[in-house]
Structure 1
Amino acid sequence: MPSKTTKASGAEQGGQPKIPGISVYQRRGRWTFMVYLDKDPLTGKRPSIQGPVFDTDAEAFQAAVLAKAKAEENGGKKLVLPTDTVEQVVSKWLVAVKDSVKPSQYANWETNARAYVYPLIGHLPFRKADVTVLNAFYARLSNNGRIKPDNNLKMYQYWSKHRDQRDGQGPTSREIAEACGVTIHAAKAAVTRYRRGRVAEAKPTGLARKSIKNIHGMLCLVWVDVIGQGFKVDNATTNARIPKQPGRRRSRTREATWTVEHLARWLAFALRDRFYGLWVLEATTGMRRSELAGADEVRLDREKKILHVHETRVVVNGRAEDSDGKTDAGWRAISLDDFTFEVICRYIDMLHEEAKKYGKGYENPGKLAVWPDGKLVHPDTLTRRFNKLVDLAGVPKIRLHDVRHAYVTLARILGVNRKILADRVGHANETVTDTVYTHVSVGHDRELADKIGGAILEALKEAAGSELKVELEAGRVYELEAGAAPVDQRGELFAA
């Protein structure tokens, strides 16, 4: 039976802008594209680029734009020579696309190419890298593709073996660093985790399916660009398949679940931390870590109680860098409930007071994720502090990003409009049956904000065991009750 091909209208493409020469359409329930280039002045023929298949129309559209830009930029020059290997082709492609993608995306591509593609299939002639080769490549990555050493397990085993030293305090951080070949900073963080009861588990030998999908996505774009430059080769990525990894998703889903009671108990401790305003935002809006790290006071509309999410801070090769968001949908306006709005205003007042006391040397005025001297907080620091608060609260251990999942789950339980929820958390796409409006629902999430914020606040009052009160004073910025854990000048949280 022939496959069904449906050309997508602008609405079906999620409102993507129309670009001459680009056609995005459905094929066998997934999305692909066709790019038509300018006519050849000699032959009169119009070259075209047939794209691979993608899960969403947005992915197909972005790949089509990149393919068209690269084809036009190279002006007909061949990206590939007949004798080129896979490594040579991918290397040339990375050079060609470097200035047209975000630094974080480029860094991920380059890392994946050097760590996985070049060592395993980089030596093969590009012409011979067919679907059979790619399927074998993905299978190898799935089974035993992990190349990074499991330093956390190595440190934990050393610490467990010597934990009776120094009257039960265990080995020093320096001893662990020297024995395991890690930095002193990694060893210190590890000791803190182990003393709080975090047990290191052996990582699987294979790469996660998501990591393999990222590598596959990069190779899809490589083949599209190569074919677009007139190189006669089949698109090996179109029919390549990524192996399934039974049990992983189910296990992760169980671990990444918080009830509203868990969320409230964590928040009761998080309110005593220096960055309490950011934690409340995370709990009541589901913002991404990069969005919390890049939040700016100027984006807060106090009159309408709306926070505009624009700037973000991401980690590229270990360094924090400014970015403009994960997707276009990431630029959004979030309504704040009364509880969240009051907390964030008091948090900003605290930052203003710190800036006033510090004086002329204060850095980054207006940013919300800063130390008392105004220096920006590294996004990874937010993750470490979150993990500390999770341990202190005694709730199930999840990732910081999973608080976002818990927020969405709570919203679904409360029966909120799914289209408005997708706009609020910055999701780029939703299913056709959930598409209620064709425009972004700016301001329409007020009822959603009040409903979820109210549910969290009621659970928080019960978890705290007393009426909430806000105090701005040295050492305690948001106090639930007498005897709250103190906060030092650098914002370190100590267990009571």
Structure 2
Amino acid sequence: MRTDSYVEPSRRTVAEFLAEWLTTIEAAVKPTTFANYSTYANAYVIPIIGPRLLQDIDTATVNALYRHLLNSGRSRADTNTVMYQRWRQATSTGRTISAAELASHAGVSRSAAANAIRRYRVGRIPAALTTGLSPSAVASIHIMFRRALRDAVAWRYLTTNPAAIAQPPRGEKQPHKTWNPQQLATFLQHARHERLLAMWLLFATTGMRRSEAVGARRDALDMAAGTLSLVTTHVIAAGRTQISSGKTRRSRRLISLDAATLAALRDHLATLDQERAAWGPNYQDRGLLFCWPDGRPIYPDTITEQFGRLVTQASLPIIRLHDVRHTYATMALRAGVNPKIVSTRLGHATVAFTLDTYTADIPELDRAAAEQITGLFLPPPTEA
């Protein structure tokens, strides 16, 4: 007699199931989530166990997959190392290599190659990558695969989820790479003549995400009230820019702006008006706060490339654009700003998440707490 847990025997493979699963969930998840899941499935799971029957997959198989990915799972070429090796080979013989030649050799964009040449000229040499994926990358693949196999159980393709009790690797939580106040000030000083200075200031003074900056709308800026409403974001999914509504409900928020940022925004708005007048009927008005001079949206990766260029030119320690957000958060907490306010301004889901994220970055706060609390009931030690 068949029971509710009965599953029809099937010759369905892992690859066939994941293809069906991705098609099914595409409309139910955010574009960036779908793009990530597609990459995880097609680049890391299907090439290894795709031909195997779905119903033959057990927890041991899943654990073996994770071990393989940790040891030799890197499938994408390290284009930075490829470019550096070609650049070094050329320069060692006294030849100047062009960005176009380097881009063609490594299969990257010309702007990416130009940025790489600038890095190499100031001594920023890429570190060699291992053949395996990082523990955090494998953990992300596990999240995708566990969810997919959970749906396989719901669809009665499997009786149990073999990934539910699998053992993905746990990466050690490392402090974020951040700048100190002087380094952030140096960056802003170097960017003072940039057309997008106001955007760089917003990153520094609010900790907003890249997607929020490129998706910010002009009509969401209230200069009189000194606020900016962050509702729309522009994210990259499958190589294309897509409009989204933010990572979470709390990501959609109203933030107050300081006087210096408002002054820069005032100048920026005047520039936008001048550009609109200069382009006349050819201006492509999308209502964006930050755009190209003709009104077209800025591709998010272009902002990252410009950030890297400015960091290199200013001879600052290399950090990611997203690390400016971490810099803002750690500076705010060190300055004694209420964690609830910091969490709200960053658009985090909870204050607990904010504190858990940045505790390792600010060990002196724990030391200060120890001294402050003890001082309530113990007298200060006497000097010998």
**TM-score interval, normalised by the smaller of the two chains:** 0.7 to 0.9
Aligned residue identity for 2:219: V
Q: Give aligned-pair identity as a percent.
A: 38
Aligned residue identity for 2:201: V
1:272 aligns with 2:198: no
Mapped partners of 2:66, 2:44: distance in 1: 10
Q: CA deviation at 1:154?
A: 1.5
Aligned residue identity for 2:132: G
Could you say what secondary structure the match of 1:370 adopts? coil
Mapped partners of 1:81, 1:89: distance in 2: 14
Counterpart residue number, 2:91: 163
1:138 aligns with 2:59: no
Q: CA RMSD in A?
A: 2.6
1:96 aligns with 2:6: no
Mapped partners of 2:307, 2:252: distance in 1: 25
Counterpart residue number, 2:98: 172
Could you say what secondary structure the match of 1:360 adopts? helix
Counterpart residue number, 2:167: 241
Q: Which runs of 4+ in 1 moved over 4 A?
A: 177-186, 432-435
Q: Which has the higher helix share?
A: 2
TM-score w.r.t. structure 1 length?
A: 0.66
Counterpart residue number, 1:213: 139
Contact 1:164 1:170 survives alignment (8 Å): no
Mapped partners of 2:132, 2:180: distance in 1: 31
Sort the Cα spacing of 1:187 and 1:335 in 2 relative to 1 into closer, same or farther, 3 A.
closer
> What are the residue-to-residue correspondences of 1:337-356 with 2, within 5 Å?
337-356=258-277
* Greater RCO structure (CA 8 Å; 6+ sep): 2
Deviations 1:24-62 (A, max 9, x none): xxxxxxxxxxxxxxxxxxx9x9x89xxxxxxxxxxxxxx
Mapped partners of 2:9, 2:251: distance in 1: 40
Sort the Cα spacing of 1:196 and 1:433 in 2 relative to 1 into closer, same or farther, 3 A.
closer
Deviations 1:264-308 (A, max 9, x none): 111111222110010000000000001111111111122321111
TM-score w.r.t. structure 2 length?
A: 0.85
2:216 to 271, 295, 318: 295
2:300 to 370, 373, 379: 379
Contact 1:265 1:393 survives alignment (8 Å): yes
2:43 to 115, 118, 138: 115
Counterpart residue number, 1:304: 225
Contact 2:112 2:305 survives alignment (8 Å): no
Could you say what secondary structure the match of 1:315 adopts? strand
1:126 aligns with 2:47: no
How many residues in Structure 1 have an aligned counterpart in Structure 2?
Answer: 354
Counterpart residue number, 1:362: 283
In structure 1, list runs of 5 or more residues that go unmatched.
Answer: 1-42, 49-77, 436-496
Contact 2:139 2:170 survives alignment (8 Å): no
Mapped partners of 1:433, 1:385: distance in 2: 28
In structure 2, list runs of 5 or more residues that go unmatched.
Answer: 357-384
1:201 to 111, 122, 127: 127
Contact 1:144 1:205 survives alignment (8 Å): yes
Counterpart residue number, 1:83: 11
Mapped partners of 1:265, 1:184: distance in 2: 28
Contact 2:290 2:298 survives alignment (8 Å): yes
